[in-house]
Amino acid sequence: MISKKYAEEVNAPIDKVYSVVHAIDASHSTICKWLFRLRGFPSHMATLDGLQKFGFVMLGDVPLKELAFGLVGKFWTYSGKIQRLSSENFKDFQQDGFAKAVGNIALKSLGARRTLVECETRVLCYGNQSAFFFRLYWTLVSPFSGLIRKEWLKIIKKESEKA
């Protein structure tokens, strides 16, 4: 399993940050716009609703704690071979040749007006071939994927700390 985690402290109460997470829109981010375009992703993917339209599955939403979403595909191919799954059959999917990615945005209260926001991505590959191709793909893509996660955190911080 491959895992990557980023975090940001936000000077805002957890309930406000939670609302911002649900309304996140990275479409105005130049970084996100260019990276999505480079990969051939539609610009509407910059929101949670857009991610779901693309094929991401909402896996969980624990109010004031965590939002989790997942995607199954062959990410190293041009089309991505994204599998359209429900949250129920996402957990059971284990087809050889595919990879399962899970992302989350987790919140931890650091007091009345401070919140820690963590964004983690975990990927599990099924079969040696998918593991090999995913590692090659991840070597090239992970720095850019990390930029997107860091940009999300920056947007969450900026929007949450607005008066």
Beta carbons of 24 and 160 less than 8 angstroms apart: no
| pTM, to two decimals | 0.89
CATH domain 2-160 topology: Alpha-D-Glucose-1,6-Bisphosphate; Chain A, domain 4 (3.30.530)
Axis-axis angle for helices 128-160, 30-39 (nearest 10):
160
Q: Where are the domains of the chain?
A: 2-160
Beta carbons of 64 and 84 less than 8 angstroms apart: no
What angle (nearest 5°) sits at the alpha carbon of residue 123, between those of residues 7 and 76?
A: 115
Per-residue pLDDT tens listing for the chain (163 residues)? 888 999 999 999 999 999 999 999 888 888 888 888 777 777 777 888 888 888 899 999 999 999 999 999 999 998 889 999 999 999 999 999 999 999 999 999 999 999 999 999 999 999 999 999 999 999 998 999 899 999 999 999 999 999 6
